[in-house]
Amino acid sequence: MSQLLSEPSTPSNGTPIQTWARWAGVLYLIIIAIGLFGEAGIRNTLIVPGDSVATAHNILAAEFLWRVGVAGQYLLLLCAVGLTMAWYVLLRPVSRHLALLLVFFALVSLAVESVSALHLQAVLTPLSGAAYLHTADPQQAYAAAYLSVVAHAGAFGLALVFFGVECLIAGYLIRRSGFFPAAVGWLMQLAGLCYLLNSFAMVLFPPLHAMLFPAILVPSFIGESAFCLWLLIKGVDVPAWRQRAAADVSEAS
């Protein structure tokens, strides 16, 4: 107990808190970069909404690029697990219970997003699987591949529901922390709200979703980028974090 009180700026594994902040920023940057590349650079260029034949031809013409996108999604998920741990370590002094709740929402979000990644991989099965090509009509193969594309969109939308709540909790903890700017917390909460609106509009009001997307996700990009850059450039206010961590240890004892 005395060690925790004398060195609250260092988590229990001995890693300085500023190092946790920097690694969180690096992981977040990787996640944002992979997400943008996968969505804007791959899926938006290869998928033709409502046209399974054109979509299949585009994917077959750039099969390796599609596979790179799937592999990138796997890497994104690995980084997101590490980022979740870093968020917990950074925000735990504000509220252990809320930080733990954030982790629960994050893990459910990542589990669902893993399913969406499997759907991306499943797109290639009817298009390039030898056994399938010998037994299925090409139009059926194209339709099956496109159904996997649609399934990915649905699963990813559900993952963003849980991630949206995660951002709301993270934003609240950031605002209350005293060692991160309150403005960043507000931006993260705005990001979470936009994710929730986007996902629920996708299910409840598809025409409204078509009108709002992708503009509704611009605030989400701004909020997440702001937090990412703050972690990379400024990190955490160590004296303020130390003070909150000491108070948390005193309350726990």
Q: What is the pLDDT of residues 2-13, one digit of tens each?
A: 333 333 456 655
pLDDT grade for 212, boundaries at 50, 70 and 90 = confident
Better pLDDT: 167 or 248: 167
pLDDT for residue 207 is more than 60: yes
What does the pLDDT read at residue 223? 95
Share of the chain above pLDDT 90, in %: 74
> Tell me: the pLDDT tens digits for 115-159?
999 999 999 988 886 556 565 578 888 888 999 999 999 999 999
- Which residue, 124, 85, 91, 75, is CA-closest to 106? 85
What does the pLDDT read at residue 209? 83
Q: Is the peptide bond before 214 cis (omega within 30 degrees of 0)?
A: yes
pLDDT for residue 210 is more than 90: no
Q: Do 195 and 109 form a contact (C-beta atoms < 8 A)?
A: no
Better pLDDT: 244 or 104: 104
Q: Do 45 and 135 form a contact (C-beta atoms < 8 A)?
A: no
Find the helix packing angle between 63-91 and 17-36, rounded to 10°.
150
Q: Do 46 and 62 form a contact (C-beta atoms < 8 A)?
A: yes
Q: What pTM did the predictor assign?
A: 0.88
> Tell me: the pLDDT tens digits for 66-87?
999 999 999 999 999 999 999 9
What does the pLDDT read at residue 5? 35
What does the pLDDT read at residue 8? 47
Helix (H) or strand (E) holding 204: helix 182-204
What does the pLDDT read at residue 206? 87
Q: Do 183 and 206 form a contact (C-beta atoms < 8 A)?
A: no
What does the pLDDT read at residue 36? 94
